[in-house]
């Protein structure tokens, strides 16, 4: 009864539209231009990529961490509306086996736009991986009703809005 009286029984509103911000500082790259066919052909999902200018990754959405890869090169986040966002730091960075990566979150953590997720050595990725370009894709794209990308070039971590998306109604 007290919950009802004080309005505490209300479920959190599920947003109808959400914004994907840049998770890193750098230069915007179209997903089709990612030097990996799995991402470029949108086999994993639709989104965008960033050529990072430094080694810090922040959350591009408000939500919950649903996966931290053991090799620390990728993180999955479920947004408030249910979009499953994958941040894949660099191309072929799985082969680095976590070297040069430090993760600041774990599965189940709640995050806001701008919450620090990972720090990585940009120089080490340049040396040991195929590319530093970092794809950010919605992996459950079949549940996305619409995805609109903004015309941007230089992006700022947690600040620059890059994509607006709407999930399909249940």
Catalytic annotation present for 21:
no
Please name the residue that has the structure tokens 């990566």.
101
Among 119, 18, 112, 134, which Cα is nearest to 65's? 112
Please name the residue that has the structure tokens 């989104």.
47
d(CA 122, CA 20): 23
d(CA 53, CA 153): 13
Structure tokens of 70?
């053991």
Q: Which one of 88, 132, 157, 160 is the catalytic residue?
A: 88
* Residues that are catalytic: 88
């Amino acid at each position: 009864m007290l919950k009802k009286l004080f309005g505490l029984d209300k479920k959190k509103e599920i947003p109808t539209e959400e914004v994907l911000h840049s998770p890193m500082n750098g230069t915007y790259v179209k997903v089709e231009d990612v030097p990996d066919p799995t991402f470029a052909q949108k086999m994993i999902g639709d989104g965008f990529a960033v050529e990072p200018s430094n080694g810090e990754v922040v959350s591009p959405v408000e939500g919950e961490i649903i996966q931290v890869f053991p090799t620390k090169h990728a993180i999955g986040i479920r947004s408030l509306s249910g979009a499953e966002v994958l941040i894949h730091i660099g191309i072929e960075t799985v082969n680095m086996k976590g070297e040069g990566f430090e993760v600041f979150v774990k599965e189940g953590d709640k995050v806001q736009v701008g919450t620090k997720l990972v720090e990585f050595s940009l120089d080490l990725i340049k040396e040991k991986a195929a590319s530093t370009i970092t794809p950010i894709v919605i992996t459950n794209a079949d549940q996305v009703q619409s995805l609109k990308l903004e015309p941007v070039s230089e992006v700022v971590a947690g600040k620059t809005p890059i994509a607006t998306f709407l999930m399909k109604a249940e």
